[in-house]
Amino acid sequence: MAGKRGDKIFPHFWYTSEAEEAARFYASIFPESRVDRVVPLPVDSPSGPAGSVKIVDFTLFGQRFQAITAGPFDPFNHAISMVVVCEDQAEIDRYWSALLQGGAAEACGWLKDRYGVSWQIVPRILDEMLGDTDLPRARRVANVMLKMVKLDVAQLRAAYDGR
């Protein structure tokens, strides 16, 4: 299945039991997104009998992803997260609210969704602000961001502008 679309690299997620459900949830949130196929593994595996392990190919924002439902392994953690780059506050608010359903808000624009996957919902302008060579500007933005849960573009801009 890995070579089907010719992608050289793509993320793969291991879910205990809900890979298809998670893929459908994510595809319902983002444009250019869909579940492409669900394939039960046709043989017994260490994770279960034939048919119980499912491989899910899905697309988010036109990019390929893959997931597997294969029983408990390692839980998701902050070492890997999905970053959603947003153009404005309305987009931040929309994705934040959708992904937060059944999940938990965290600091600095991070949240953990109902499946345990970590997401960062950030404005596109944040990279520019934090990377500004004017260190006082970048520090102001960083200090304000570190106090936020969901990121607020107006507050970040105000900090950047010294207001």
- With respect to residue 4, please indicate whether it lies within any of the assigned structural domains: no
Could you tell me if residue 6 is inside a domain? no
Using alpha carbons only, give the angle 16, 19, 20 rounded to the nearest 5 degrees: 145
Domain around 23:
12-69
| 3-class secondary-structure state, position 62 | coil
The total number of structural domains that make up the chain: 2
- Say whether both 44 and 98 belong to one domain: no
90 and 157 share one domain: yes
CATH at 106: 3.10.180.10
Task: Give the number of other Cβ atoms within 10 Å of residue 137's Cβ.
Answer: 16
Output the tens digit of pLDDT for each of the chain's 163 residues. 444 567 899 999 999 999 999 999 999 999 999 999 999 998 988 888 888 889 999 999 999 999 999 988 889 999 999 999 999 999 999 999 999 999 999 999 999 999 999 999 999 999 999 999 999 999 999 999 999 999 999 999 999 999 9
pTM: 0.91
